[in-house]
Structure formats: structure tokens, C-alpha cells
């Protein structure tokens, strides 16, 4: 029998336990061996839980039990998750996790420790919740040279932006609704400031391009500055606004491009049609072309499903997966955000000059936008594709001409 242990009994941890016992019979058939869940680690008391006899408070109880072969780390955060994960791997126990922060910061290191001890470190649930993406990227698309990964990686922000578009809600009202429905935390900063999506794109970029990408190297901008005016201008040109995480392979020895930011996307494109709490991840390979993975990116049971699937994969594995890895790095492998080439939506206000005329003088050519009830001193337009450094320089010139920049959003034409 292969025994499992679960570290943490929060939303995901309780879901893991629920899915395991609900589907235990079918899981054992898939694994080909009897399975047991021996321990649940949590410092809290759960006297009314049907699994109350499984709870322990001392991690060493799990670490020192040789019968435990697979551990699910669903604590979250870096510590004590990092210490516990290292200890388990070094003791010859495979570890699976939903902990995107830990994988984004220490994935290369933990994968190396797993290989050195002939066990596995799997993290399907760390990106996309219940959407299969890590294993397909690693295995099913292995014949491809992955050129780009781009997607909607955060369901909370996608829900908020959808409400802003469909129902004309302000950002603040849509966020409050997301919190009431349980889609957003009381402190929503990780979602709305782009940190959650940043960790996810780092994991995907590391796996796709074979070298560790650190979150501190990736520019992350959230959705807190998006206004109803921006939404109206996007709609006027057939676009929606989505929070996008993207990573593109560097060519000719150049560093890769990676960022998280709001973007105008054509409503009819593959990512433009993804609404509400759903996520979509587009992988562009040199052989397959575009492949899109779609589904609920978070939630108790979808995420637990991915964790339990990794537990079964570890139970079936014969030693460590040598190919599930990427090289360590010292960082600095992502090009500066100023080098990124993009068209840009700008919303401006001027009191003593014509903002659109000034923009045409400086940019040469822009695509003017309109919206209902547009003030006479407001102008909105889409710039030609330039480096972000060049666009910032032009914005400085507009400011010097007495023009206020009220909104600034990237424009993606072909996603």
C-alpha cells in the first residue's frame, strides 16, 4: 500500500481529502496499488471532522513514517512549505503541490532535490487550478519548440473585468461582488495587482523555455487603474480588456519577454471570448501552432482534482522524472519591459491644446477612438507598435505639452 499525507487543511487541503475518499476506489484502479491517506497536518483542531483521527500537529510524525510515500503540500506561501518540502524530498518522499509562490521562487532547486533522491516534485495545480497545463506542456507538446505562452491566468480579475464590461460596474463594485461571492480574498492584492498571474507565468516560462524565471524579473501590472471610460473605449473598437500573462522565447541569443498587464484584446479572438472566473492559456508551438487550454482556474475541487492527479502520478511512477525539470538561473534572463514592442491605448485630457492633434504630431499616425458622452477635452487613441521605452518618451512629450495621460493599456492584435 502507498500511503499519502496532506500538509494543510484549508480550502485546497480539505478538497484534496474529500476528492481522495470520494474517488478512492477508482483512484486505486488507476494507480494499480492500494492507497491510503494516513495523515493530515494542521495546527488547528477539527473535532467534528469525519477525518479527525488522521490529524497530527507535528510534521516529524509524517517525515519519520517510512510508509508515507507521497506528500501533498497545500499550505501555501514560502515557509514552512519550503522547509517541509525539502525534508520530504530528501527523505525519499515525492511531493505534489498547488503552491505557486513556492514553485515560482524555488522550483528549479526543488526539482533538483527530487531528482537527486529519485522521487518526484509535481505541481500541476500551481497554474490553472483544475486546467491541465503543466503535464501537457511537459509531455504532450514535447515534440514542439514552444515559442510563446500567453493567457488569462487569474479568475478573480477576469470576473471583475467581465462585470465591468457586461454590466457597466466600476472596478470597486465588481471587486466587492467578487468578494461577496468568494472569488476574491478580503485582501485581494495578490490578484488585482497581478502578483498571482506573475507567479504562474514564471512557472510556465521556466518549463517552456528550460530556465528558471524569477517573479522579481517580470513586470507585473494589475487592473486597479482600469476605469469605465477605458472599458467604453475598448468596446468601441471591438475589444475587451483582460489581464494577460505572457512569455515569449528570445531569438538570436536575446533574452525572453515576460510580463503581466491589462491588454486590449479583440473580442472575437480565442482569449477575448473567455469570461467570468474562467481561465484560458494559449501555447504556441512550432509544430502544433496554437493550442488553448480552458476551464475554471481556481476553486476548492478543481484545484484539489489537479493535486490528487499528481498524487496518483507519483504513486504510479518508477523513480524520478528526469525530464520534469529546468535549469537554475541567477535571474536577469528576462528583457527589460522597455524593450517590449506593443501598440498602446492612451486616454488623454488637455485644457489648452488639442490632445489628438498633438498625438498625431508626435506619433505620426494614431487610431482615434470615441465613446458616448466623451468630454470635448478628452482624447483616446491607439499608437503604432513601438517599444514601451519609446512610448514612455512620447508620453513625456505629451505631458510637456500640457496633456494629462489618464489611461495607458497595451493592445494585442492577434490573440
Q: Are 219 and 264 in contact (CB under 8 A)?
A: no
Per-residue pLDDT tens for 280-295? 999 999 999 999 999 9
Rounded to the nearest integer, the mean pLDDT of the chain is 93
What is the percent of the chain with per-residue pLDDT over 90, rounded to a whole number? 85
Q: How far apart are CA 36 and CA 24, in angstroms?
A: 9
Cα 300 to Cα 258: distance, rounded to the nearest angstrom: 29
Residues 331, 390 contacting (CB under 8 angstroms): no
| pLDDT (tens digit per residue) in 343-361 | 999 999 988 778 888 888 8
Pair type for strands 68-73 and 94-97: parallel
* Structural domains of the chain, with CATH: 2-129+301-316 (3.40.50.720), 135-296 (3.30.360.10), 339-411 (3.30.70.260)
pLDDT tier at 154 (50, 70, 90 boundaries)?
very high
Distances (CA, A) of 112 to 107, 126, 171, 212, 307: 9, 18, 43, 12, 20
* First-last CA distance in the chain: 47
Count of beta carbons in the 10 Å neighbourhood of residue 196 = 26
Contact 156, 183 (CB under 8 A): yes
Q: Is the pTM of this model over 0.85?
A: yes
Q: How far apart (Å, rounded) are the C-alpha atoms in residues 191 and 214?
A: 18
The angle, 0 to 180 degrees and rounded to 10, between the axes of the packed helices 388-400 and 355-363 is 140
**Cβ distance 317 to 120 under 8 Å?**
yes
pLDDT digits (tens, 9 = 90+) for 211-250: 999 999 999 999 999 999 999 999 999 999 999 999 999 8
| Nine cell digits for residue 153 | 491566468
Tens of pLDDT, residues 288-325: 999 999 998 778 898 999 999 999 999 999 888 877 88
- Residues involved in catalysis: 200
- Under the banding of pLDDT at 50, 70 and 90, the label for residue 414 is low
Could you check whether the bond before residue 343 is cis, i.e. omega within 30 degrees of 0? no
pLDDT tens, position by position, 99-138? 999 999 999 999 999 999 999 999 999 998 889 999 999 9
**Bond from prior residue into 51 cis (ω within 30 degrees of 0):** no
Q: Which three cell numbers stand for residue 274?
A: 473567455
The pLDDT of residue 212 = 96
**Annotation: binding site:** 7-14, 100, 185
How far, rounded to the nearest angstrom, does the alpha carbon of residue 114 sit from its chain's CA centroid?
Answer: 24
Q: Annotated binding site for L-homoserine, which residues?
A: 185
The CA–CA distances, whole Å, from 58 to 44, 73, 214, 338, 402 equal 12, 15, 32, 49, 64
Q: Residues at the annotated binding site for NADPH?
A: 100
Binding site, annotated residues for NADP(+): 7-14
Amino acid at each position: 500500500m502507498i500511503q499519502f499525507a496532506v500538509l494543510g487543511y484549508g480550502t485546497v487541503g480539505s478538497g484534496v481529502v474529500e476528492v481522495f475518499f470520494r474517488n478512492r476506489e477508482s483512484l486505486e484502479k488507476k494507480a494499480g496499488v492500494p492507497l491510503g491517506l494516513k495523515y493530515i497536518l494542521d495546527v488547528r483542531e477539527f473535532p467534528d471532522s469525519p477525518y479527525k483521527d488522521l490529524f497530527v500537529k507535528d510534521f516529524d510524525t509524517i517525515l519519520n513514517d517510512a510508509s508515507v510515500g507521497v506528500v501533498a503540500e497545500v499550505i501555501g506561501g514560502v515557509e514552512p512549505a519550503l522547509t517541509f518540502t525539502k525534508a520530504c524530498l530528501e527523505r525519499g518522499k515525492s511531493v505534489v503541490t498547488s503552491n505557486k509562490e513556492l514553485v515560482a521562487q524555488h522550483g528549479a532547486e526543488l526539482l533538483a532535490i527530487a531528482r537527486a533522491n529519485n522521487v518526484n516534485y509535481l505541481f500541476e495545480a500551481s497554474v490553472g487550478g483544475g486546467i491541465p497545463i503543466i503535464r501537457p506542456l511537459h509531455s504532450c507538446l514535447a515534440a514542439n519548440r514552444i515559442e510563446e505562452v500567453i493567457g488569462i491566468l487569474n479568475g478573480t480579475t477576469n470576473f471583475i473585468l467581465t462585470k465591468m464590461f457586461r454590466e457597466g460596474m466600476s472596478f470597486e463594485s465588481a471587486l466587492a461582488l467578487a468578494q461577496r461571492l468568494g472569488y476574491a480574498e478580503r485582501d485581494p492584492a495578490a490578484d488585482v495587482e497581478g502578483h498571482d498571474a506573475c507567479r504562474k507565468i514564471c512557472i510556465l516560462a521556466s518549463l517552456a523555455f528550460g530556465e528558471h524565471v524569477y517573479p522579481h524579473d517580470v513586470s507585473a501590472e494589475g487592473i486597479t487603474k482600469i476605469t469605465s471610460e477605458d472599458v467604453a473605449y475598448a468596446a468601441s473598437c471591438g475589444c475587451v480588456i483582460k489581464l494577460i500573462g505572457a512569455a515569449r522565447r528570445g531569438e538570436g541569443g536575446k533574452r525572453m519577454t515576460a510580463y503581466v498587464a491589462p491588454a486590449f484584446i479583440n473580442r472575437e479572438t480565442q482569449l477575448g471570448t473567455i469570461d467570468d472566473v474562467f481561465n484560458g492559456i494559449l501555447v504556441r508551438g512550432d509544430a502544433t501552432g496554437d493550442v488553448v487550454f480552458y476551464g475554471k482556474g481556481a476553486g476548492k475541487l478543481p484545484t484539489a482534482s489537479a493535486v490528487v492527479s499528481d498524487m496518483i502520478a507519483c504513486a504510479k511512477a518508477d523513480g524520478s522524472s528526469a525530464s520534469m525539470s529546468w535549469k537554475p538561473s541567477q535571474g536577469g534572463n528576462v528583457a527589460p519591459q522597455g524593450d517590449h514592442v506593443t501598440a498602446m491605448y492612451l486616454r488623454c485630457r488637455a485644457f489648452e491644446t488639442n490632445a489628438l492633434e498633438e498625438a498625431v504630431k508626435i506619433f505620426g499616425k494614431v487610431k482615434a477612438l470615441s465613446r458616448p458622452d466623451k468630454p470635448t477635452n478628452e482624447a483616446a487613441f491607439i499608437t503604432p507598435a513601438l517599444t514601451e521605452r519609446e512610448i514612455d518618451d512620447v508620453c513625456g512629450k505629451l505631458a510637456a505639452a500640457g496633456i494629462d495621460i489618464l489611461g495607458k493599456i497595451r493592445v494585442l492584435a492577434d490573440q
